[in-house]
Structure 1
Amino acid sequence: MSAIPQQIADRQKDALETLLAVQNSVFAGFEKLVDLNLKATRAALDDAAAKSKKLAAVKDPQEVSAVTASLVQASPEQALAYGKQVYDIISGVQGELTKLVEARIADNQKLVADAIDQISKNAPAGSESAVALIKSSLATANNAYDSLTKAAKQAAEVTESNLNAAASATARAAAEATEAAVNVAKSTARSAAAARK
């Protein structure tokens, strides 16, 4: 078999393997999201049942405020945890896809470089400056791609750091607000009990 048809067959095989890898990554991410949603739904149903039982067990009207405030306590933390898990799944799939794309680009850069080397070996005399210009252009394009890739990775790291900081601040604020609501409810229940006496 000659070299060119074999190269075409190899490129088609590589493209098919890349397509299958992309499909597997996306499908695995989808499976993780479905599993997360099933678990979150199950947890929400179990939580709602437990809260309903707790509320139904309240016998003293003064306890209603305290129990109601405590029922709200876990919801913001659960929502933040769910959001973080969704973000982690999506980031994982994106990371896998990025690795696949970078591998394909590296392969293509190598093929182009090899083709240019082959052309330069078979180029007629006097075409050295044109070949040097092509090689220089290829090096410039590769450097620009590397710079863009590094900038994109840094931007992703900064974004993730900011999201984590925002999630932590939101969780702290939600916990403080819930604690304050519970304290107010307890104080109101005590005041109501004292007023009745």
Structure 2
Amino acid sequence: MTLLSPEQIAAEKANVDAFFGLAGKIFEGVEKLAALNLQVVKATLAEVQENLAKASGTTEPPQWFALQAGFAGPFAEKSLSYGRQVFEIASSTQAEVTQLALTHYERYNDRVQALVEETAKHAPTGSEAAIAAWKSAIAATTTLYETLQKTGQQAVQFAGSNLDVVAATASKTVRGNGGQASAAAAAGAKR
């Protein structure tokens, strides 16, 4: 039977803590998303009920078309708002998960570097090239990780700015089309 050393026990505990920390952050994000979805469903059902009540009171087709045109603008705005909120939840969850992963990676990297340094102290003569290669590989891995992290952050920022641009454009389009549809429906009602 093999017993674990105190360092191995501490490392295993750190791994378990990291796993549960990561799982907790992911579940928090899922919980936020579920709450948002529940809120959207409740609001949508209330709106549908209200709109059906309004629609049942219309007798002329132009009135009905004007009413339908009036529903399009708020629906598009709410859809864009929902998309923004989902993106915010996803990006904040991703940021928290990334931070936890970074913390765990830094701890692991520190342990590996300490192992390399300890090995270098006790290495036989002539193994300097192997130790240097090992250190170089660790440095390259660290650089790769940092580059991937920066690229991921840039991608999230780019997606967020694109979402803002699309939302602004769509809002302007909906407002413009809503006004045109209402004017067209009003003109049809006068005929």
> Is TM (by shorter chain) over 0.5?
yes
Q: Where do residues 96-175 of structure 1 align in structure 2 (5 Å cutoff)?
A: 96-175=96-175
Per-residue CA deviation, residues 78-104 of structure 1 (Å, 9 max, x unaligned), is 111112211211222222111111111
Corresponding letter in the other structure for 1:169: T
Corresponding letter in the other structure for 1:189: A
Match status 1:188 vs 2:188: yes
Match status 1:83 vs 2:54: no
Give the direction of change, closer, same or farther, for the CA distance of 1:65–1:10 in structure 2 (3 Å limit).
Answer: same
Query: Identity rate of aligned residues, in percent?
Result: 27
Match status 1:10 vs 2:10: yes
Say if 1:69 and 1:178, in contact at 8 Å, map to a contact too: yes
Corresponding letter in the other structure for 1:179: G
Say if 1:22 and 1:97, in contact at 8 Å, map to a contact too: yes
Structure 2 unaligned regions, length at least 5: none
Say if 1:25 and 1:96, in contact at 8 Å, map to a contact too: yes
Give the direction of change, closer, same or farther, for the CA distance of 1:115–1:185 in structure 2 (3 Å limit).
Answer: same
Corresponding letter in the other structure for 2:117: D
Normalised TM-score (structure 1): 0.86
Aligned CA-pair RMSD: 1.9
Say if 2:22 and 2:97, in contact at 8 Å, map to a contact too: yes
Q: Give 1:69 shift.
A: 2.0
Say if 2:26 and 2:93, in contact at 8 Å, map to a contact too: yes
Q: Give 1:152 shift.
A: 2.3
Distance 2:151 2:168 in 1: 26
Q: Give 1:68 shift.
A: 2.9
Per-residue CA deviation, residues 96-148 of structure 1 (Å, 9 max, x unaligned), is 11111111111111111100110111112232232222222222221222222
Q: Which protein is bigger by CA-based radius of gyration?
A: 1
Give the direction of change, closer, same or farther, for the CA distance of 1:128–1:60 in structure 2 (3 Å limit).
Answer: closer
Give the direction of change, closer, same or farther, for the CA distance of 1:160–1:6 in structure 2 (3 Å limit).
Answer: same
Question: SS in structure 2 opposite 1:74?
Answer: helix
Say if 2:33 and 2:86, in contact at 8 Å, map to a contact too: yes
Distance 1:30 1:137 in 2: 37
Q: Which moved more, 1:51-60 or 1:151-160?
A: 51-60
Normalised TM-score (structure 2): 0.89
Corresponding letter in the other structure for 1:77: E
Distance 1:149 1:34 in 2: 28
Say if 1:65 and 1:186, in contact at 8 Å, map to a contact too: no
Question: SS in structure 1 opposite 2:165?
Answer: helix
Say if 2:62 and 2:185, in contact at 8 Å, map to a contact too: no
Structure 1 unaligned regions, length at least 5: 193-197
Question: SS in structure 1 opposite 2:126?
Answer: coil
Aligned residues: 188
